Each structure stands twice: as C-alpha cells, then as structure tokens.
A and B are shown apart, each in its own frame.
Chain A
Amino acid sequence: MENKVFSKDEWLEGIKALQSEYKVFVPVKAGDFHKFVRLEEQTIPDLDYQNTRLSPKSLVYPESERMFEFSTDENDPDYNILKEAQKDFGPQAIIGLRPCDAHGFLIVKRNFDNPEYKDPWWVRRYEASTLVGLGCNEPCGTCFCSSVGGGPFDEEGLDVLLFDLEDQYLAKALTEKGSTLLAKLDGGSEASDKELSKAEEVKKAAQEKISSKVDTSKLADKDVLELFNAPFWEDLAFACINCGTCTFLCPTCWCFDIQDEVYQKIGDRIRNWDACMFPLFTLHGSGHNPRSEKFQRVRQRFMHKLKYYVDKYGNGVQCSGCGRCVQFCPVNIDIRHVIELMNSH
C-alpha cells in the first residue's frame, strides 16, 4: 500500500475535490470546541485540534434517526403499514478522525454487525464510510488509548492514517478503500525514506506523551457477581446526576430507544440514542424498574463496559480511552478510577 506526502494546502484542496464522489465530513471549530460537519463551500476544516467534543459515531449512527414511516389514516390503503424511511447510504469520507474514534467504531461494530444480528442501517453506513484518521501528535492528559488496545497512531479500523509532519501530511493507505480515496486526490508525491522515518519519529514521540495509563488486565478473570456486589458502587455513584453526557459523548456507547411520533395522520418511527444512566432506560410497562436506584445505573454503565462486554466478546473493554467522559462528566466521575477499583477488587 502506498504512502503519499501532501502539502497541507494541497491536502485541503484535494479533499474539497472529493465532494463529487463522497459526502465529506471534516472537523471544524464551532465556538469553544470542534465538531464534525459536512464539507461545503464555506466550511473551514480545522485539523489542528485535539479531539471533537462529540465523537464521530453520529455519522454512522445518528442521535435521532427515522426508521419507518406510516399512515394512521384508515382510508389509506397502506394504513398502519411500516415503510422504511428514505435514507442516504452513499459513500462518505470522514477526514481527520482520531484513532481512538476509529477504534470506537470497531467496538460498536461487534454489537451492530455480528453473525447473530446485523443492524441494517449501521452496517450500510459503516460500509459506505472511508475513515481517514489523523494521528495524535499531542494526546490529551486524559487519553488512555494505549492502555485499552489502541494508541495515538493506531491503524486498526482506519482506511488511511495521516501523519502531521508540520507543513505536510503523510498519508498512509491501510485498506483498498483507503487507496481508492487517495488515488482520487490530486497532487501529492510518493513518500521518501526521510519522510517515512520522520513519521516514525512523530509516532514514537506521541506514544511517549501518553501520560494516562490504566490496568485492565485482571478484569476478564474476575468473578462477575463479586464485581456486581462489590462494596464500592454506592460511594462511586454518589455524585452522579444520571445525565447523558458520558454516554452521548462516548464513541462506544450504542444503546437506543424507539419512539413513534404522529403528526396529524402521518407517523414516524424514530430511534434515538438512549443512556443506561437515565432511569427511564429500564422502566417496564408495568411501572416496575429493575434499576430504580442510581447506583444500579452507574454500576450498569461500568459493568457493561468493563466486564459484560469483556466476557462476551473476549476482545478487551468497551472503551477506546478517548477520555471524553473523563473531561466532561460534570461531576468528575472518572472511568480511569473505576477501572482501577474494578481491576484491583
């Protein structure tokens, strides 16, 4: 696979030209933080950033998505018949996402795309996506990707990996999809040995800058009930306000809720992101709630990420170490601390 070098201007011009074949998504600065938006005429991509406030998971799995539409008009021949809503599964390119967020997609994939179940929309959108990652020259103090199977220049789950070499990007194709995308870009030249070794240096320096480490090594061997009944959950949960910040910002949380909305005689069946931290999440129709207490909900979030998932898939924890929940949990419930509690229990 090829390694190409582009000047930064060349690269930005190049991705603009991709718009004829892909829906292109890029990070932009929007007020105090960065977010992914569709590249359009006026968009100013900003690849000089640490990470987006919200993960790019919504580009494959929107926060609210119309699944079906239906008519509640009895005279309509299609009365009450669910018809799949129009959706766009055209090719899309996500440019400049971080390796941890690509890792996030792989984690979510185990849930939405496995031999038992295939989520038709997630799978089609994911397959239509080309993921162009950008290695992290300056990982945040809260990033612990390298403790959970990733790293600031990890290639897994990406189609292309970009190395920021000051005034150039070195683009490393990792898959067929990635090569196809690179082939469509004007300019660029084959990377020289010098540029390749510079990329290696940048990568090594970044790996050394990861200051946050966690130990997940003992989680798989723990007894699930012992962890479930561990004495620390109530204390840990005290501060939690059961909001959706941690789950909605997280690239690896996948839960949703399905709602019907009817306006006059037209109905939509919509799925919305849901969060195990919300009391409503497990409320039964009978009124009974098996997780009626806050500590039970907090325990669920962490047990799911750090134990049930570990046991079910045998492939590490359901966390890519992006650090978003660490930075933005409003009451500072820090998953790194929870991992330590669980791993050493």
Chain B
Amino acid sequence: MLEYVDKIRETARKLLDSGTVEVFIGYKKGSVPMMNEPVLIKDPDQADILWWDSNCALNLCNYLTKRKEKIGILATGCNSRNIVTHIIENQISREQLYIVGVPCKGMLDHRAIKRAVDNKEILEVSEDADTITVKGRDFEKTLEKKEFLQSNCAVCRHRNPVLYDELVADLVEEQEGVDPYKDVRAVESMDPDKKWAFFTRTIANCIRCYACRNACPLCYCPTCFVDESRPQWVGKSIDPTDTMTFHFLRAYHCAGRCTDCGACERVCPVGIPMRQFTKKLNKDAEELFSWEAGLALDQRPPLDVYRPDDYNDFIL
C-alpha cells in the first residue's frame, strides 16, 4: 500500500492549505520495524512526514473523541466504521470531519511475521505490492503478504471505507466467501469446563496494562468501570478472576459496536487474543440482529433501540 503515500501527502497538503481542515490525522513512519506512529499535523509543510504501509493497523478513530476542530482523517474500512459509530454515539460530528478513505488491502500480523523468522530480531523491513522482506543480523526472508495478514484482515468483508469525502485510490475488491467466525464456533462447541479452561488460558499472561482497552475507539468513557472505586466493580490486582472480569465486561461494552479492526489485539504487549471475546458478540449481533457495526449513519445499533421483532428467546 506504499503507493498511497504520495496521494495521502498531496491530499493532506491540499486540505490544510485550503483551510478545508485545521488538522490532519494520519501516520508517520515508525522508528522500529512494523511500527508506525499516529500523528496530527497542522501545517501543510508537514504533509511529507505522512506515511502509509501494511502496518498502519491502529485505529485512528481513537484520536477523534470530543475534538473540536475541523479534522481531516485517513480511514480504512474498519476505521471508517468506527468513525460512523463515533458519529452515532455523539463523540464527533460528521460536519467536523473530512474523511480521506483508504481502500485497504489488509494489514500485516507482526507477530506472525516474527514467528516466521523464529522470533529473531527483525532490523529492517521493506514491502512491495505482494511481499514483505524482513532482514536481521543473519537472515533475510521474503514472505507473501496474503499469508501474513492479521487474522481480522484475513476475514474482513469491508475493506473499503463505508463513509468518505474522497479516496486516495480506487476501491479494492471485497473478499468473497470468507468465514469470519470459524474460531468462535470452535469455542462455542466446547463444553463449559473446556470453555472455562480456554478462557483462563487465553488471558493467563495479561498484565492489566489496558493497552487493548485504550487502543479501542469504543472505550471513551470518562471513567472506565475498572477504574471506578465507588463502588468498586472489579479488583485491581492480577488475580485471574478480576482479569477475567475486566475482559468479559470490556467485551460486553463493545457488543454491537466492535468493527473487528484488530487494534486491541495488535497492541497487546504479551500477545493475548482478546478478540475471541468481542468476536463472539459480533457473531451474536450478526446472527440475532442482522447487525454489523458502523455500516450506516441512519441506523441505530441493536442495543440502543427496541424493535418488536427483536430476538427475545433469552428472556426466561
């Protein structure tokens, strides 16, 4: 997706120059391989620091909450769906935004790439349209990007932005016939003991750093339930019960809102696949309410409206 860089810079420069926007939010190239830094620029002359590659996999919508200016922002499919969700939830207004859509070809799973070189230190990466080449002290390896996509990107059905004012490139073809919930079904089919063991194992390494929560644009509450002390909903130590409570409640707070952008999983310093929890709820939202988050501005999410034909089998 390197081919987008020039167009992104040109667009940002134009928008800032003309005063269409006061600030522009994108990425700048990171100082370590496969990391890029979200950046906000105000001056058209800064446009040349903007960058785009297959490791721009945070969620820029996270930086919009309650901002006051007129903002230009880059948005992939999932990021644009979070922007829609943000607008619906009154965290930003549509009028404030100039959305520069980025048709996405999928982001790379930095952990899988490191695994492919036995977790040896990667010192340099370069990519072209289909491959990524990683170099370390005593190795060099070229990998097919499509085999190293983040697991959410591999099953993504909305690569193209759903809401935009202009695009940096032609729309890409959407992936057909993907099976987004295979992993969820595997967990659903476990008996309760196995499920519990699976959950316990999944979060065992969690250090409660909250990077997953904080990387997510959905988590904007002024005081998160885990930080609340009167009453205290959840203990703050690394007792497994408390850690589990944090993860389950966080997931429930994302029900019907999560776009499976993968930012939470990407940022975890210890590699916990906490999307296993949100994905189950995404699947329920889709199966029970025919709902995928953030596709349209004029539809209310299933958990904040009542419809007579809502699924209600769970009511005893």
Contacts and interface: CB of A to CB of B under 8 A. Distances in A.
A, B assembled together? yes
Interface of A: 30-33, 50, 53-54, 63-64, 138, 140-142, 235, 238-239, 241-245, 248-249, 257, 259, 261, 270, 272, 275, 278-280, 326-334, 336-337
A3 B101 CA distance: 63
Contact of A239 (B37, B227, B238): B37
Nearest to B34: A332
Given A238-B38, A239-B37, A334-B32, A245 B209 contact: yes
B271 A248 contact: no
B215 A241 contact: yes
10 contacts: A64-B237, A64-B239, A141-B121, A239-B37, A239-B38, A242-B214, A243-B267, A270-B237, A278-B210, A331-B58
B37 A332 contact: yes
A242 B271 CA distance: 18
Contact of A272 (B30, B36, B213, B236): B236
Contact of B123 (A50, A141, A330): A141
A112 B230 CA distance: 31
Contacts of A326: 31-32
B210 A244 contact: yes
Please provide the 9 A-B residue pairs with the shortest distance between their CB atoms, ordered closest to farther.
A330-B267, A244-B209, A64-B237, A243-B211, A241-B214, A332-B37, A332-B30, A332-B35, A239-B38
Contacts of B5: none
B249 interface: no
Contacts of A328: 269
A338 B205 CA distance: 30
Interface residues of B, number: 39
A245 B236 contact: no
Contacts of A334: 31-32
B215 A243 contact: yes
Most chain A beta-carbon contacts within 10 A, residue among B205, B211, B269, B271:
B269
B207 A248 contact: yes
B115 interface: yes
Contacts of A249: 269
Contact of B121 (A54, A140, A259, A336): A140
Nearest to A274: B236
B114 interface: yes
Interface string B236-247: 111100000000
A337 B269 contact: no
Contacts of A242: 214
Given A238-B39, A332-B30, 16 more contacts: A32-B114, A32-B119, A33-B119, A50-B121, A53-B270, A63-B238, A241-B211, A243-B267, A244-B210, A244-B211, A248-B207, A257-B236, A259-B235, A327-B32, A331-B267, A332-B31
Interface string B254-274: 000000000000110111000
B54 to A, nearest CB: 15
A327 B119 CA distance: 13
Nearest to B63: A238
A6 to B, nearest CB: 26
A245 B235 contact: no
A254 to B, nearest CB: 16
Interface string B184-211: 0000000000000000000001011111
Contact of B207 (A50, A63, A140, A329): A63
Contacts of B63: 238-239
A293 B137 CA distance: 41
A150 to B, nearest CB: 19
A261 B210 contact: no
B88 interface: no
Contacts of A33: 119, 270-271
Most chain B beta-carbon contacts within 10 A, residue among A33, A259, A331, A337:
A331
B91 interface: no
Contact of B111 (A32, A280, A331, A337): A32
B37 A333 contact: yes
Contacts of B205: 30-31
Interface in B57-115: 58, 62-63, 111, 114-115
Contact of A138 (B137, B210, B269): B137
Contacts of A54: 207, 270
A112 B213 CA distance: 31
B40 interface: yes
B148 to A, nearest CB: 14
A334 B29 CA distance: 12
B119 A243 contact: no
Contacts of B123: 141
Nearest to B222: A279
B214 A31 contact: no
Contacts of B30: 332
A329 B271 CA distance: 13
Contact of A142 (B32, B235, B237, B269): B32
A333 B235 CA distance: 30
B237 A272 contact: yes
Contacts of B39: 238-239
Given A238-B39, A248-B209, A243 B32 contact: no
B300 to A, nearest CB: 28
Contact of A332 (B36, B208, B211, B235): B36
B243 to A, nearest CB: 10
B205 to A, nearest CB: 8
A330 B207 contact: no
A243 B121 contact: no
Contacts of B270: 33, 53-54
Contacts of B271: 31-33
Contacts of A278: 210, 227
A253 to B, nearest CB: 12
Interface in B28-51: 30-32, 35-40
